[in-house]
């Protein structure tokens, strides 16, 4: 997630620039303290695999190795999977990432709502983003109505249905 317009927060996906005079990015020590707070919360104490995931991706990012955070490395290094791990067969990392995002959101909506740093794992990535001066509004779900299917969506659904019917007819002729 990125901060909503008007909210405070500076995204960071790499080490902070300590030399920048107006740096609002949290420093490494502050991020490490935030990680410890999150991991010692009840929701994370009860989920060791999720905690290992968060600790691994945060520590790798702080060490300057965020480019190495991939499904395979998370599975092998954070979850202890065998080096023969195949992400095409085993989707544990995607499942745990979804759970981690949900757990972080829940944490920041409750006991972490006044914490000085927000740690997020944006959808589509396993690399954490660090935000300073976070508040619980950054984790609020966007209020939106589900959109009605467009004509393009309806056309695509009709084409898939026709293709499926055609495939079934072909298979029936073979039998």
User: Residue 118 corresponds to which tokens in the numbers above?
Assistant: 């927000």
Tell me the Ramachandran region of residue 122: left when phi exceeds 0, alpha when psi lies from -120 to 50, beta otherwise.
beta
Average pLDDT over residues 38-49: 96
Tell me, what's the pLDDT at 132?
83
Under 8 Å CB-to-CB from 139, ≥6 apart: which residues?
Answer: 1, 104, 105, 108, 109, 118
Determine which helix (DSSP H) or strand (DSSP E) holds 103, and give its type and residue range: helix 92-109
Tell me, what's the pLDDT at 106?
96
Asked whether residue 21 carries a pLDDT value surpassing 70, the answer given is no
Tell me, what's the pLDDT at 165?
43
Tell me, what's the pLDDT at 118?
94
Q: How far apart are CA 97 and CA 22, in angstroms?
A: 33
CB 54 within 8 A of CB 101: no
Tell me, what's the pLDDT at 69?
97
Query: 17: burial class by Cβ within 10 Å (0-12, 13-18, 19+)?
Result: exposed
Tell me, what's the pLDDT at 24?
65
On whether the pTM is more than 0.85, the answer is: no
CB 57 within 8 A of CB 119: no
Instruction: Express each pLDDT in 117-151 by its tens digit.
Output: 999 999 999 999 998 866 544 444 433 333 344 44
* Residue whose structure tokens are 């990015």: 25
């Amino acid at each position: 997630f990125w901060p909503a317009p008007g909210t405070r927060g500076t995204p960071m996906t790499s080490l902070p620039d300590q030399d920048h005079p107006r740096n609002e990015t949290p420093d490494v020590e502050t991020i490490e303290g935030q990680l410890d707070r999150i991991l010692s919360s009840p929701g994370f104490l009860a989920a060791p695999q999720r905690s290992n995931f968060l600790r691994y991706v945060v520590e790798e990012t702080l060490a300057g190795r965020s480019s190495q955070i991939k499904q395979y490395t998370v599975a092998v290094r954070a979850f202890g999977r065998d080096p023969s791990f195949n992400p095409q067969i085993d989707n544990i990392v995607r499942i745990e990432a979804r759970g981690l995002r949900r757990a972080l959101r829940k944490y920041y909506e409750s006991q972490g709502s006044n914490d000085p740093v927000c740690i997020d794992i944006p959808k589509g990535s396993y690399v954490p983003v660090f935000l300073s001066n976070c508040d619980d509004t950054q984790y609020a779900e966007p209020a939106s109505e589900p959109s009605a299917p467009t004509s393009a969506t309806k056309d695509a659904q009709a084409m898939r249905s026709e293709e499926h019917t055609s495939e079934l007819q072909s298979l029936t002729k073979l039998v």
